[in-house]
Each structure stands twice: as C-alpha cells, then as structure tokens.
Amino acid sequence: MRPHVPRVPDVRPLDPLRSLKIKLGVLVAVTVSAAVLITWLGLQASLGPSRTFPWRSSCRCWSRRSWPAV
C-alpha cells in the first residue's frame, strides 16, 4: 500500500473571470507586460535590443537572407 501523500490544491487563477474573452485578454496583457519589462531591464543593463527583445532573440527564421527579393 502506498504511503499517504497530501494532495496538491487545484490552483486555477483565471477561474474567477467568467468570460473567455476576458481570460484571453488578461493573458495577452500579462505576456506583453512581461516582454516590455524584460526589454526595459535589458536596455537599462546596457544590452542591445537584439539581446533583450524576446521575439527577435528567440526567432532566427526572419533573417534578411530568408526575405524574398522585391
């Protein structure tokens, strides 16, 4: 028989919000705020935008070589 392990409480922080639109809006606002904060902190530490802007540093698929010639 297994020893008794206390259960972890079910934590669902968006449950008080009833509408799916509001939940998604909160998630977008928190994500954008976190990206702005990370970028601002990096710029305050004298790091360039290429090291602090979350999208640019994590996605290398949009290099100039991959752009179509116009």
Taking only the tens place, the pLDDT of each residue in 7-59 is 878 888 888 999 999 999 999 999 999 988 988 888 888 887 777 765 544 45
Place of tokens 């290398």: 60
CA distance linking residue 44 with residue 37, whole number of Å: 10
Q: Which pLDDT score, from 0 to 100, does residue 65 have?
A: 56
| Whole-prediction pTM | 0.58
Identify whether the C-beta of residue 52 lies closer than 8 Å to the C-beta of residue 39. yes
Spell out the residues 6+ positions from residue 27 whose beta carbon is closer than 8 angstroms to its own.
14
